[in-house]
Amino acid sequence: MNTPYSFDHNAFAAALQSTYSHLTDGEESGVVVKVAGRVMLMRTQGKLAFATLRDSSGEIQLFALAAVCEDFENFAKLHLGDWVGVTGEVVRTKRGELSVKVQSWVQLAEALHNFGDKWAGITDYDLRYRHREADLWANPASRQSLARRSDVVRSIRERCWAAHFTEVETPMLNAIATGAAARPFTTFHNALDSEFFLRIAPELWLKRLVVGGFERVFELGRVFRNEGVSPRHNPEFTMLELYAAYWNYEDMMAFTEELVAGVATDVLGTTEVEYQGRPFSFAAPWPRRTMAELASDAVGEEVSVHTARARLVELLNDRGVEVHASWGAGRCLAELFEVTCEESLWNPIFVTDFPVEVSPLARRHQGDPELTERFESYAAGRELSNGFSELNDPVDQRSRFEEQARLGAAGDLEAMRIDEDYIKALEWGLPPTAGLGIGVDRLSMLIADESNIREVIAFPTLKPLRD
RNA sequence: GCGCCGGUAGCUCAAUUGGCAGAGCAUUUGACUCUUAAUCAACAGGUUCCGGGUUCAAGUCCCGGCCGGCGCACCA
């Protein structure tokens, strides 16, 4: 294939559609433009040919007349999917379609495969995800969902910058996988002769930067968790984490709801949307309810982290949950909340005051040392964000890690390990600080009205093909 | 990892009770000077996901495997 190395393109389909909307049927503008894109449809009619050209902005018709169009015969033989660059006058055809009347054209690249059925596109999930490049042309909705994700990321960055957060990058290769409860991927560095883990969260590194004097930091990046794949889970996903010195969890809740509502406004122009056919509102402020309140409402009796463990176990068993011997009352309460409440939380809500037992990095609650100043926001029945007043006492942090180590020894594969470097960092002094984590893919799903996380990930993790 | 469902032409889909594997679009060829998913005519296109089995006969039934969707589990 002998094709050009460049094309001097100066117009986009969507811009032409709006700029020349005034042209009347059969009117010629006298303006010659150069457009480029893929031929998505071709209608030939003897000495005439009409092609639908699609570029990144939209579509415009190419109108070729044998008498005017250079090498008309081959133009009419272009395949659907071929890339072309076209020079021609902007006109409106007699039948009212804004078009570029082809004077000269060049095939920029050939499509050896087609882009699916003209009507149905490509529907096979395997083909769509393994060959997203084809899916993007075959299914405009796929392109829109990924574009929405990009808009979400841009909005997050701009809003964090506007609030004076510094964007930083921390290691993905970690000697200890920590900062969250999850199983890691492992890998090996040959020259250092050391095992490494892909990060499951950037949390501890970011707080070390706060110790170092970066008072407001954020990182927008990939984390990796060696867990199940589902419509709401991809093994690698994108997390926003941010930390603000001198804030507590109340301050961070206020920031979170403003951030998320702001992203919705930036991307969709409104906070009032439909998600999966149901009205959904991002509007701030979001209600705040404690975990104990919500669980109590759900089970019809007063429960809290101080309820007798045996009673919590009964309530869990009644709901088919098997309780492990290592779970204390705090873990039992958190489980009870998850099974009774989580799915019913539709519009965004902050669930607050998590038990210490399930929050090894969060600061104890000022009103109850068995609780932490921690919140999670829930939306559409799923966790959207997680944040807390950060534990900054190195002695308490060490005892929390030691408790985690006990759980690990007892077989909990997701328990954290003791991170001595992190404890030493806290010994240098972490000011009062609040932190936040938001699942960017989950947020993008809400914004793009997608129920499957793969629709907002360009190349989701798939099982490699084998024989 | 477990359960349920699915995999037929390049794409989207049919195929009755186990009885000749089909259509539309795309491709190829031809007709056509205003089409809009153009239209019309013709040709071609198959390891029915892979491997076994049952049967006179398997896309269809049985067993095993591969990949996907959904649910469960884990989690965000």
Residue nearest to nucleotide B70 (CA to C1'): A231
CA of A111 to C1' of B25 (A): 17
Give the model confidence (pLDDT) of A168-220 as tens digits: 999 999 998 888 888 899 999 999 999 999 999 999 999 999 999 999 999 99
Residue where the block lists tokens 């970690």: A174
Tell me: pLDDT of A411 over 80: no
Rounded Cα gap, residues A80 and A231, in angstroms: 33
The arithmetic mean of pLDDT across residues A120-145, rounded, is 93
Report the SS3 class of residue A48: strand
A349-352 vs A288-290, strand pairing mode: parallel
**In contact, A50 and A72? CB cutoff 8 Å:** no
Report the SS3 class of residue A242: strand
Question: Residue A181: which nucleotide is closest by CA–C1'?
Answer: B75
Tell me: pLDDT of A252 over 90: yes
Question: Residue A179: its pLDDT value, please?
Answer: 80
Percent of chain A with pLDDT over 90: 88
Question: Residue A385: which nucleotide is closest by CA–C1'?
Answer: B76
List residues bridging with A439 in a β-sheet.
A239
Give nucleotides in strand B with any atom < 7 A to a protein C-beta.
Answer: 1, 6, 10-13, 24-29, 31-39, 50, 66-76
Residue nearest to nucleotide B72 (CA to C1'): A230
The arithmetic mean of pLDDT across residues A274-288, rounded, is 94
Tell me: pLDDT of A326 over 90: no
Q: Which residue has the higher pLDDT, A411 or A227?
A: A227
CA of A131 to C1' of B18 (A): 37
Residue nearest to nucleotide B36 (CA to C1'): A97
Report the SS3 class of residue A344: helix
Q: Which of A220, A235, A242 is nearest to A149 (CA)?
A: A220
- What dihedral angle (degrees, nearest 10) is formed by the CA atoms of A449, A454, A455, A457? 110
CA of A465 to C1' of B58 (A): 27
CA of A127 to C1' of B69 (A): 13
| Reported pTM | 0.94
Question: Residue A224: which nucleotide is closest by CA–C1'?
Answer: B76
Question: Residue A1: its pLDDT value, please?
Answer: 56
Question: Residue A467: its pLDDT value, please?
Answer: 56
Report the SS3 class of residue A411: coil
CA of A285 to C1' of B52 (A): 63
pLDDT-derived band at A407 (thresholds 50, 70, 90) equals: confident
Angle, to 10 degrees, between the axis of helix A329-340 and the axis of helix A291-299? 60
Exposed/middle/buried for residue A240 (C-beta within 10 Å: 0-12, 13-18, 19+) = buried
Instruction: Name the DSSP letter for residue A324.
Output: P
Question: Residue A40: which nucleotide is closest by CA–C1'?
Answer: B37
Rounded Cα gap, residues A173 and A200, in angstroms: 10
Mean pLDDT, chain A, rounded, equals 94
Give the model confidence (pLDDT) of A348-396 as tens digits: 999 999 999 999 999 999 999 999 999 999 999 999 999 999 999 999 9
CA of A24 to C1' of B19 (A): 62
**In contact, A355 and A334? CB cutoff 8 Å:** yes
